[in-house]
Every structure is written in structure tokens, then in C-alpha cells.
Amino acid sequence: MRHRNAAAVFLIATLWMMAGVVAGLGAASAADMYRGHGIAMHGDLKYPADFKNFDYVNPNAPKGGDVKLSAIGGFDSFNNFIVKGRSASGIGLIYDTLMVSSADEPFSMYGLIAKSVEMPTDRSWITFHLNPDARWHDGKPISVEDVIWTFETLVAKGAPFYRFYYGNVAKVEKVGTRSVKFSFKPGKVNRELPLIIGQLSVLPKHYWKDRDFTKTTLEPPLGNGAYRVKSFEANRAVEYERVKDYWAARHPTHIGQYNFDTLRYEYYRDTTVALEAFKAGSYDFRRESSSKNWATAYDTSAVRDGMIQKVQLDHNRSTGMQGFAYNLRRDLFKDPRVRRALDYAFDFEWSNKTLFYGQYSRTGSYFENSELASTGLPKGDELAVLQEYQDRLPPDVFSKAYSNPKSDGSGNIRANLRIANKILREAGWRVDPKTRILTHEKTKKQMSFEVLLVSPLFERIALPFKKNLKRLGIDLRVRTVDTAQYQQRVQNFDFDMIVMSWGQSDSPGNEQRDFWGTTAADRVGSRNYAGLKNAVADDIIEKLIAAPDRKSLVTYTRALDRVLLSQHIVIPHWHIPYDRVVHWNKFGRPAVTPKSGVQFMSWWVDRAKADGLQRRKSPPKAK
């Protein structure tokens, strides 16, 4: 009996091992494997397997209440995964992802649709074990087939971004009843890729089976998230309702969040109209992006009486880069000397003093307001990285700390314009002494280009810039277009210059390929708006993505920052280290604001405040 049991145990163990090999799990020993409820990019997870909720939420937040928000322009589709059409604001609320990121860590993901994960320490593949409770809104379980279909459909039929973003995935396969494995292409280490796959919004295969995924649609799609589409009027409004029997309502990543019964997005023609609508009480919550509005637009009785709350909430996230972005695909901007020269015509100090009420600081890094930003001269490990490319980088990278041109704020930037003129002369541009027009010595054509805008607010920034450029003999045309035209032109790189921003996380990775990579420069719909093609940047991006720890990630990011700054692909704008929020006084919010900033979906409607506000907005009529 003992021998037969031993043989049986041996047979079972052998079969288990063979099954593991078939499933792709036998390639690494137990010591080389990670299994857990989440993944940290580097280091350890903050929240243990038995955590109850994130620290920045109120786990006892009440549910209920109706909230109105704003959107600009219009929409004609609920399919936000393709290039065609303008997708409705908030449509992502109807979908859940395999995993959920926390807002108080550099980059960590926790299981949602995926209850747990399994991967080798080299992160060459990852297996997601699906939560058996996960359901679609029609009650059907979320399956491995749904995950595989979603991934394959996004790569084959979704926006071009997906083919690029998931380009290092070699194979997706079912390895168990509720387990799906993503294997990655060999040759390059990509520590971030398992977390990126965890961000996948899972779509219902059975719903899309008889529908064309490549087309826009105004049929509300089947989802699996906290909300579903309740009603809509194309280009005017869309309303979402909280799903009462939502499968993840008590999931630790969702406790204290998604508290509103309904969320309604009202569309407005432009930001000016939207601001006036807010002050009139047409919607409830607004993030203010304009310093002028912040300083002057809310001097109203509703603010003074406390009916509208105006608050600054500090954050510790990277503010990224915003600026006038050149299109390097244009012959005019291929010479970096031209790009650098025009920087001297932008008078930030005057703009900050006169237009921004002194609220901003000038941005000097693509990773501003974080430890990832380069400062001073490169040294240590960062210098060692850059020295590998010394013969391909401008000498200033090593000898001169990057700095933006400065002025005294008076509006007199004659000294800066003299520098700009000197640089332009070195690049072959001459000012005709009679006409005062700047022309190229070979083509004899005037330097002339257009800045394309979508927000009228930026006209007050662009027009003084235009005036300064005119003093150099340059013709700048300022053109503001509607959102649909702007989106189409930007996606197709049909512009000379735009105002563009690149948001950055505390853990940069694969998205940098899409921001700055050579292969993304000519791909329609990519976020390499500038069209940068730089082999040094490409190489450092790959090293950044493969960084084995936080220290090396910081080193490579700072090195990339210096390379980007040396190319002068934008005229940097400005930043602030806090969120500007205005809202009608009907909300409660958690005591803690995480490092990533305001998390509006963790707020709730305070019934007593809401009732009091309603009485004050609509006092009873006198008898």
C-alpha cells in the first residue's frame, strides 16, 4: 500500500509538472516565480493581500446623489478604442480593467478582473487568474476568451496606439479555465509590460460578435464597470448611472469610490461658455486650467457666500511638459538652431506677471516637479549614461545646464531678440533692411508659419508671441478651430505648431516610445506630435523601460530629459504644483489627497450640504 501510494504521488507530481510545462509555468523554479495580488514596478507593494481599501478614500462614503460635469465640443460615438469619431466623455466608466493602479505609489497595480497574477522574476511572461465573481452587466461571467478577444481586437482593429503599445507581446493563450497567459518577445527586458497589460480594459466578445468594431456607434455598449449609459443626446449630453448590482462594488480597490448615483456630462461650445454655465449652476464640479479665471472669474456672491467652494489641493505628481510644440516634419523646423532661436521670442515673465497673476513657474524639464527631472550638469551614473553618446549629443549637454531665456517682465525683450537674431543669422536667415522681413538667404522666402489652437484661452498667449516674432521679421498666423477639426489635423500631423502637453507618471516606461520614438514619428495617431527622430533618445528609452530598479529608472529618465531638452522640440510653458478646483458646495471628500492629486471619483454627495444648497439656490416664494 505504501509503495502504491508513493508511486501514485510520483505519478501525480509528474503529471502536474508536465501540465505546468504545457501551461508555460515550468520554465522557472518556485524561487524564480512571483505570485500575488498585485505588481509593483519596482520594490514592494504598499498594500498587502488582505487590504480593505486605499488610504486616500473614505470607506464609509455614502452612495447616492446626481452630479453634472462639463465637456467641450461634442461626441458622436461610444467606441473610444478606435481613431474614428469623437468618443463620449466618461465612457471609460463602463469598463473594468484586469488590474487597478493606486494613486499613492509610483506605479503599482492591484488585481480586479484578475484576482491574482503569476510571473517569473525576469517578467518574460505573466499569467492572470481571473476573478470568478467578475460579471458583465448582462450577468454573464467575464471569461478568458473575452480577455484574448479584447487584446487581439485592439491590436488588429483598434487605434494605431494599441499596436505600438502592445508591440512586445508575442502570444496570448488560455492556460486554464480562468487563466490567461501573455508571453513577451525575447531579446529586450521590459519590466513595465506586465503592468501595462494589467491596464487592459476588457470587452465582451459575445456582444461584439455581430457588430463591426471598426465603426463608430451610438448604441450604448455592454460593459462591466461601475456605471452604464443611462441616456444621451449626441453632441449635447450623456448620462451614466451607477450599476446597482455591480460585481466589484465591495472590492478593496473600489471601496469608497464610484459613489454617485448618476454622472451627467453636458457639452458646451467652448471653455468660455462652460465657465459661465458653471457659475449659473448648470453643473457641479470644475477643474480650472486658466490662471486668469482662477484670479478673476470667481469673484461672485456664490463664492463669497460659500455656495461655491474654490480650493487649491497640493499634489506631488510630475507636471510633465506643456509648450508650443514644433512639427519637425516641416522643413522650416528641421534646424534645431531655428527652434532654439524662436524660444527667445516667448516672454514668459511678462505673461506670468500680466496674464497669469504670478501663479506659474517656468517649466524646465519634461518631468517637472519630480525626482525624475534633470538639474544642473550631469554627474555620476547619469553622466556615465550620456557619455556613451557624447559624439552624438550637443556639447552643451555636458558643459551647460539647461535654462530657458529670461526677461525682467517689463515686456522689453530687446536683448533676447538680439540673441534670437544672431542664432537665426547663423542658420542662414537674414532680415531685409528695407522691409524688415526675415528671409532665408537661399530660398528668399519669408519665415512664416501657423500656430493651431483649439482653445480661445491660448490666443492671449499666442498673440504677444506673434508680436515679438514680428519684430524679428517672422510672420506667425494664429488660428483657432473647432475640436473636430483640431483632432483630425493633430492626428494626421497637419500643423506647423500647436500647444501640446505630455503628462508624465512617476514611473515612465513604454509610453515614452509613443511620445518620442522614431517608429512613432510617422504613425498616424501617435503621440510623437513633434515628429522627433533621434537614435540616442530611442536607445535611452529602451534602457529606461528595462531599468531593473528605481535608482536606474531615475538615472535613465534624467538622461532622456537632457536629450529631449537639447533638441528644442518645444518652447516650454509653465506649471503649478497643485490642482485648482471649484465646485458647488454639495460634496464631501476624503481627508487625504494622494500624491497623484485630486481623485474626484472618491468624493461623494453630502446630502445635508446638497439639500441646504438647493434651498439657497431656490428659496421659497413669498406668500
Confidence of residue 620 (pLDDT cuts 50, 70, 90): low
Asked if residue 6 has pLDDT above 90, the reply is: no
Confidence of residue 464 (pLDDT cuts 50, 70, 90): very high
pLDDT in tens, 364-405: 999 999 999 999 999 999 999 999 999 999 999 999 999 999
pLDDT in tens, 228-242: 999 999 999 999 999
Type of residue numbered 106: P
Residue carrying the nine cell digits 533618445: 537
Higher model confidence: residue 80 or residue 7? 80
Least confident of 19-28, 318-327, 440-449, 580-589: 19-28
Confidence of residue 31 (pLDDT cuts 50, 70, 90): low
pLDDT in tens, 472-502: 999 999 999 998 899 999 999 999 999 999 9
23 phi/psi in degrees, rounded to 5: -80, -5
CB 312 within 8 A of CB 579: yes
Asked if residue 13 has pLDDT above 50, the reply is: no
Least confident of 7-16, 206-215, 446-455, 508-517: 7-16
Exposed e or buried b per residue across 117-135, where buried means at least 16 C-beta atoms within 10 angstroms of its C-beta: bbbbeebbbbbbbbbeebb
CB atoms under 10 Å from CB of 345, counted, come to 23
pLDDT in tens, 136-192: 999 999 999 999 999 999 999 999 889 888 989 999 999 999 999 999 999 877 889
Alpha-helical segments (H) within 406-509 = 414-426, 459-471, 483-491
Higher model confidence: residue 197 or residue 190? 197
List, in sequence order, every residue forming a beta bridge with 283; answer none if it has no partner.
none
Write out the three cell numbers for 84: 474614428
Mean pLDDT (whole number) for 278-290: 96
Residue carrying the nine cell digits 444621451: 232
What pLDDT, on the 0 to 100 scale, is given for residue 190? 84
What pLDDT, on the 0 to 100 scale, is given for residue 160? 85
User: CA-based Rg of the chain, rounded to a whole angstrom?
Assistant: 27
DSSP-assigned letters across all residues of 579-612: EEEEEES-EE--S---TT---GGG-EE-HHHHHH
Mean pLDDT (whole number) for 99-109: 95
Q: Is 343 exposed, middle or buried (0-12, 13-18, 19+ CB in 10 A)?
A: buried
Q: Whole-model pTM? A: 0.79
518 phi/psi in degrees, rounded to 5: -60, -40
Confidence of residue 623 (pLDDT cuts 50, 70, 90): low
Sketch the domain layout of the chain as residue ranges.
21-208, 321-575
What pLDDT, on the 0 to 100 scale, is given for residue 621? 61
Asked if residue 4 has pLDDT above 50, the reply is: no
CB 340 within 8 A of CB 423: yes
CA distances from 554 to 254, 257, 381, 540 (A): 31, 32, 10, 12
Biggest CA pair distance of the chain: 109
What is the separation, in whole angstroms, between the first and last Cα of the chain?
96
% residues pLDDT > 70 (the chain)? 94
Distance CA(215)–CA(202), nearest Å, equals: 18
Mean pLDDT (whole number) for 332-337: 97
CA angle 611–612–618, rounded 5-degree value? 90
What pLDDT, on the 0 to 100 scale, is given for residue 10? 31
Asked if residue 19 has pLDDT above 90, the reply is: no
Mean predicted lDDT score pLDDT of the chain: 92
CATH number of 21-208: 3.40.190.10
Domain 321-575 is found in CATH 3.40.50.1000? no
Distance CA(124)–CA(181), nearest Å, equals: 11
DSSP-assigned letters across all residues of 104-150: SSSSEEEESSEEEEEEETT-SEEEEEE-TT-B-TTSPBP-HHHHHHH
DSSP 468: H
Which stretches does DSSP call E strand in 406-527?
Answer: 429-431, 438-440, 448-453, 475-480, 497-502
What pLDDT, on the 0 to 100 scale, is given for residue 7? 37
Question: What secondary structure, in 3-state letters, does 336-403 show?
Answer: HHHHHHHHCCCCHHHHHHHCCCCCCEECCCCCECCCCCCCCCCCHHHHHHHHCCHHHCCCHHHHCCCC
Least confident of 19-28, 213-222, 295-304, 512-521: 19-28
Helices 550-567 and 380-387: angle between axes, nearest 10 degrees: 50
Q: Which residues contact 538 (CB under 8 A, 6 or more apart)?
A: 517, 518
Compute the half-sphere exposure of residue 463: CA atoms within 13 Å on the CB side of its CA: 7
CA distances from 616 to 278, 286, 449, 583 (A): 16, 20, 52, 15
